[in-house]
Amino acid sequence: MILPSLLLLLALCLGVVIAASAQLACADAARIGARALARGESDERARELALSAAPEDADVDLEGSSGMARVTVRAELTVGSVVSVPVQLRGTAAVPVEPGPAEVSG
């Protein structure tokens, strides 16, 4: 009776570690995309950079308004093989837009 309980606890802990790792990947991907937008990269390039760091099948939303570059990365992770539990992950980052050459010299 103890061994199945320990295996269930181990599987639960492993699922939590996998979900936490994917959550950190979403946050990192959002930060990478927001920094690219803030530097003046194109939306396509910022999305490409964010997707390269995001978990598989992630969605990237870009928004540039009021001097801030905001990126949100969303992903769904299915934890477990016998009992599958869908987990919604989301990472958001906002970075101030860097001034352009005309703004710096003027």
Give one DSSP letter per residue of the chain, joined into a string.
-HHHHHHHHHHHHHHHHHHHHHHHHHHHHHHHHHHHHHHT--HHHHHHHHHHHSPTT-EEEEEEETTEEEEEEEEEEEE-SSS-EEEEEEEEEEEEPPP-HHHHH-
| 105 is a domain residue | no
Average pLDDT score over residue span 80-98: 87
| 106 is a domain residue | no
| 61 is a domain residue | yes
Q: What is the pTM of this model?
A: 0.82
- Report the domain count for the chain: 1
Return the higher-pLDDT residue of 7 and 72.
72
Q: What is the pLDDT of residues 32-86, one digit of tens each?
A: 999 999 998 999 999 999 999 999 999 999 998 778 999 999 999 987 776 778 8
- Residue 94: give the domain boundaries: 2-98
Return the higher-pLDDT residue of 104 and 55.
55
